[in-house]
């Protein structure tokens, strides 16, 4: 078995109490057993900050993009949008032996482990060690919301999130060690109960949004709404719409869309349009920690030549249907451009510069603001439009949030869309907007592609007309062979090779 998977211990980052942002990618100077690690309020702050650091480091000490762009370019390829994820994802022909799945599984559970360490450590510290009981409650809620967010991705990517069956998550509330590492999965229903219980603590107790570098009350609400919308059981769409309406109506004024789309991506985690992102500190090799955005999507693009310098092809970056959409959309010029690859010759490629930025060939760009956008404000309007349609509101009411979203931009100017003629056209319009606004950012285009139907098939087959339809079991990835070969108690996902 892989030692790093089964011998994870707590990362305890010793930093100053006032350094709220200096925590996400510092090499931890101490690794302590949790029972001995949290004895003061400063220790509680540190273990919570170490939890955030796990987004970049998982169970290791070097930054990596297992929760950066890597899984989201894979999901984009599954949706038939971006090519950088690779053909196996496009064809949904993945195998349990793919190394990426082992990495995601191992490192996402390392993030769960870090959240559990924070929950156990903070819970065990006496109330009188905190400035107030409210501070302790907030810190516990932050850790539980973080755990809910990680488990949401384990649910969406490795479980039957759409079904009421036995293929839920492998749930852990204790620190993983050799005594408890082997376990089976819980049911999908129980998985949702546990994840939603965690996120409810964030809804109740987290503060309002002030920065994308930490979780907030609004992000907790988003997690809950997305869980319900992707699940789609009876009453879920109405409940999710209520949550989204509430976020839009009650969020602090600082959280808002920026009129300038280009500026959003230039500002990265400092943009007030970004609700949560993966922040990494300066001088930590940000480009390496976001290799999928700083390298892979670049080299998937059209290499510069004298012949194409004024007319590069975006078809290298995108599959044909989406390429037709994006080239005709005003957002094309704001999200595409030339970026330099890290190579001896430093070749330029035409690629999605909203994520690739300028690339990483020169040393002064290695610590540019490479980041993963877990959630931006426009997605609220997209969710609101879809949820209105799913709760039988009129075509005009359902398209209205998208036109409001489009009206918020001045660079580029996005004209209002006509009211679609029927529900199928409306849903296709909503899906197009998910893809055009959010491509390769957070996986939303993939989940929309299986939720939204065209005819009798998920709309993903509009994007990928050349593939044979697959069964719903392919909507999630296989449990990695590295897990099933050692943990004999766990059930593999049906329809795969293990």
What does the DSSP assignment read for 355-395?
Answer: HHTTBSSSGGGTTS----EEEETHHHHHHHHHHHHHTT--H
Band (pLDDT 50/70/90 cuts) for residue 201 is very high
DSSP 164-215: SSS-------S---TTT---PPPPHHHHHHHHHHHHHHHHHHSPPPS-TTS-
- Beta bridge pairs of residue 260: 411
Other Cβ atoms closer than 10 A to 250: 11
Q: How far is CA 485 from the centre of its chain?
A: 28
DSSP 221: H
What is the C-alpha separation between 291 and 70, in angstroms, rounded? 8
139 with 214: CB under 8 angstroms?
no
Domains of the chain: 3-206+476-484 (1.25.40.390), 231-280+371-467 (1.25.40.390), 281-367 (no CATH)
Show the 3-state SS of 34-87. Answer: HHHHCCCHHHHHHHHHHHHHHHHHCCCCCCCCCCCHHHHHHHHHHCCCECCCCH
- Residue 214: which pLDDT band, with cuts at 50, 70 and 90? very high
State the chain's mean pLDDT as an integer: 92
Grade residue 285 by pLDDT with cuts at 50, 70 and 90: confident
Element (H, E) at 299: helix 297-299
Q: Coil, helix or strand for 492?
A: coil
Distances (CA, A) of 395 to 135, 387, 422, 451, 457: 45, 12, 7, 18, 21
Per-residue pLDDT of 259-282, as tens digits, reads 999 999 999 999 999 999 999 887
pLDDT of residue 177: 82
Q: What is the DSSP string of 440-467?
A: TTSSHHHHHHHHSEETTEETHHHH-TTS
- The reported pLDDT for the residue numbered 181 is 85
* Angle 329-275-19 from CA coordinates, rounded to 5°: 135
Confidence of residue 283 (pLDDT cuts 50, 70, 90): low
- Each residue's pLDDT tens digit, 378-435: 999 999 999 999 999 999 999 999 999 999 999 999 999 999 999 999 999 999 999 9
For residue 74, what are its two tokens? 């894979």
Task: Please tell me whether the peptide bond between 98 and the residue prior to it is cis, using omega within 30 degrees of 0.
Answer: no
Identify the three-state secondary structure at position 31: strand
Q: What is the mean pLDDT of residues 455-465?
A: 96
Other Cβ atoms less than 10 A from the Cβ of 402: the count is: 25
275 touches 374 (CB < 8 A): yes
* Predicted confidence (pLDDT) per residue in 124-166, tens digit: 999 999 999 999 999 999 999 999 999 999 999 999 999 999 9
The residues, any chain, with a CB within 8 Å of residue 251's CB and separated by 6 or more, are: 208, 209, 218
pLDDT of residue 23: 45
As a whole number of Å, the end-to-end CA separation of the chain is 16
Give the integer Cα–Cα distance in Å for 109 and 121: 18
List, in sequence order, every residue forming a beta bridge with 276; answer none if it has no partner: 375
Is the pLDDT reported for residue 1 higher than 80? no
pLDDT at 33 (0 to 100): 52
CA 80 from centre of chain: 18
Percentage of the chain modeled with pLDDT above 90: 85
- Say if CB 49 and CB 15 are below 8 A apart: yes
Q: Which of 346, 286, 325, 312 is nearest to 439 (CA)?
A: 325
Average pLDDT over residues 293-307: 95
- In the structure, what pLDDT confidence band is assigned to residue 19 with cuts at 50, 70 and 90? very low
pLDDT of residue 343: 77
| pTM for the predicted model, two decimal places | 0.93
The tokens for 100 are 């990426």
Q: Look at residue 140 and give its three-state secondary structure.
A: helix
**pLDDT in the model for residue 10:** 36
Instruction: Give CA–CA dist 439/334, Å, rounded.
Output: 13
């Amino acid at each position: 078995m892989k030692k790093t998977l089964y011998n994870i211990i707590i990362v305890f980052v010793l930093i100053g109490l006032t350094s709220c942002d200096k925590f996400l990618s510092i090499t931890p100077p101490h690794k302590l057993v949790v029972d001995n690690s949290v004895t003061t309020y400063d220790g509680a702050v540190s273990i919570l900050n170490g939890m955030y650091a796990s987004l970049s480091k998982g169970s290791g000490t070097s930054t990596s993009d297992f929760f950066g762009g890597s899984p989201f370019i894979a999901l984009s390829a599954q949706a038939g949008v971006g090519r950088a994820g690779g053909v196996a994802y496009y064809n949904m022909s993945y195998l349990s032996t793919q190394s990426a799945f082992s990495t995601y599984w191992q490192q996402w559970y390392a993030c769960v482990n870090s959240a559990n360490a924070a929950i156990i450590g903070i819970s065990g510290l006496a109330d009188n060690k905190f400035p107030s009981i409210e501070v302790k409650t907030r810190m516990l809620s932050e850790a539980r919301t973080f755990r809910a967010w990680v488990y949401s991705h384990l649910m969406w990517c490795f479980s039957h999130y759409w079904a009421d069956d036995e293929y839920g998550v492998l749930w852990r509330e204790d620190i993983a060690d050799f005594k408890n590492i082997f376990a089976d999965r819980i049911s999908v229903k129980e998985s949702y109960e546990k994840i939603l219980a965690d996120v409810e603590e964030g809804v109740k107790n987290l503060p309002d949004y002030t920065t994308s570098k930490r979780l907030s009350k609004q992000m907790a609400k988003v997690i809950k709404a997305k869980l319900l919308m992707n699940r789609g059981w009876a009453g879920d769409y109405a409940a999710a719409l209520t949550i989204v309406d509430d976020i839009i109506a009650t969020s602090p004024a600082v959280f808002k869309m920026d009129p300038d789309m280009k500026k959003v991506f230039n500002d990265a985690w400092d943009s007030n349009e970004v609700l949560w992102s993966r922040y990494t500190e300066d001088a930590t090799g940000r480009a390496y920690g976001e290799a999928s955005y700083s390298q892979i999507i670049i080299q998937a693009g059209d290499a510069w030549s004298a012949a194409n310098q004024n007319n590069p092809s975006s078809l290298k970056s995108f599959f044909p249907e989406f390429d037709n959409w994006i080239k005709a959309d005003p957002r094309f010029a704001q999200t595409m451009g030339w970026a330099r690859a890290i190579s001896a010759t430093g070749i330029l490629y035409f690629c999605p510069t909203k994520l690739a930025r300028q690339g990483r060939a020169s040393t002064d760009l290695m610590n540019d603001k490479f980041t993963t956008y877990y959630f931006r404000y426009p997605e609220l309007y997209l969710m609101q439009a879809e949820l209105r349609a799913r709760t039988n509101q009129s075509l005009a009411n359902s398209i209205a949030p998208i036109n409001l979203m489009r009206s918020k931009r001045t660079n580029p100017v996005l004209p209002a869309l006509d009211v679609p003629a029927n529900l199928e056209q409306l849903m296709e319009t909503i899906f197009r907007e998910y893809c055009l606004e959010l491509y390769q950012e957070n996986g939303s285009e993939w989940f929309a592609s299986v939720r939204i139907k065209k005819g009798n098939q998920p709309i993903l087959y509009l994007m990928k007309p050349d593939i044979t339809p697959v069964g719903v079991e392919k909507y999630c990835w296989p449990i990695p062979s590295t897990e099933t070969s050692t943990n004999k108690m766990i059930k593999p996902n049906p329809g795969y090779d293990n």
